[in-house]
């Protein structure tokens, strides 16, 4: 009788353990959210090409007749460049060539004086800071070249002017190889002697450029 009771107790214990194990298997494990992985910051190193467009406005002073003109207008063109990133700093070279419709006129005596810029290009160094995820603010400066025309009483003179330019910009990288930028440049193209007025007439040209651009990096 005693042995039967012992065997019955052992069987009950084994049954209880088996049911407990099955119940444990039915419990749904707690959901564990995947670990957050921060997006990788852009690597700016490489050659790139792009397009740009914007608006230019400036001043053009004439010696004779003595008048100041405020030319303005749209511009658009192409961009090429190269960046080298070292740590959080980006060192680069950029060149662009734009069609330009920056022009203005003013009354000057018996007629109208007009200054016009029909193409514009730059060759600049850039220094950027890549420490803010995919944003890169930068400084830029270098040479500027443009064709400047002056017209007075139907007589036109033109000159390919070489000067300097400097400015600032902000570029944002997205979709691995693409970036979008906005920038401001100031350009001084000096002055030239124009045969479109009295002898010795000097015409100057300075411009402020506000542009946006889209670049593809190889």
| Nearest by Cα to 205 from 185, 191, 195, 186 | 191
Residue 108: predicted pLDDT: 87
Residue 33: predicted pLDDT: 52
> What domains are there in the chain, each with its CATH number?
46-217 (2.40.160.20)
Residue 200: predicted pLDDT: 81
pTM attached to this predicted model: 0.80
Mean pLDDT of the chain: 86
Rounded Cα–Cα distance for residues 20 and 14 (Å): 10
Half-sphere exposure of 152 (CA within 13 A, CB side): 25
Beta bridge partners of 207: 58, 187
Is it the case that residue 61 has pLDDT exceeding 80? yes
Is it the case that residue 19 has pLDDT exceeding 70? no
CA 49-55-178 angle, 5° bins: 25
Residue 110: predicted pLDDT: 82
């Amino acid at each position: 009788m005693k042995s039967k009771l012992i065997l019955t107790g052992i069987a009950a214990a084994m049954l209880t353990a088996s049911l407990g194990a099955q119940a444990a298997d039915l419990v749904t494990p707690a959901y564990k959210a995947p670990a957050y992985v921060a997006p990788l910051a852009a690597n700016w190193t490489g050659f790139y090409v792009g397009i740009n467009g914007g608006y230019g406005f400036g001043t053009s002073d004439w010696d004779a007749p003595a008048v100041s003109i405020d030319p303005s207008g749209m511009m658009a063109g192409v961009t090429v460049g190269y960046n080298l990133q070292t740590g959080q700093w980006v060192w680069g070279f950029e060149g662009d060539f734009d069609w330009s419709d920056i022009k203005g006129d003013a009354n000057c005596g018996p007629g109208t004086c007009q200054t016009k810029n029909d193409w514009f290009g730059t060759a600049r160094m850039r220094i950027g800071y890549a420490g803010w995820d995919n944003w890169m603010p930068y400084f830029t400066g270098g040479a500027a070249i443009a064709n400047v025309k002056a017209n007075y009483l139907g007589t036109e003179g033109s000159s390919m002017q070489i000067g300097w330019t400097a400015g600032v910009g902000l570029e944002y990288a997205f979709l691995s190889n693409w970036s979008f930028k906005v920038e401001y440049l100031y350009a001084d193209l000096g002055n030239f002697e124009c045969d479109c007025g009295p002898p010795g007439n000097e015409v100057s040209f300075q411009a402020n450029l506000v542009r946006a651009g889209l670049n593809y990096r190889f």
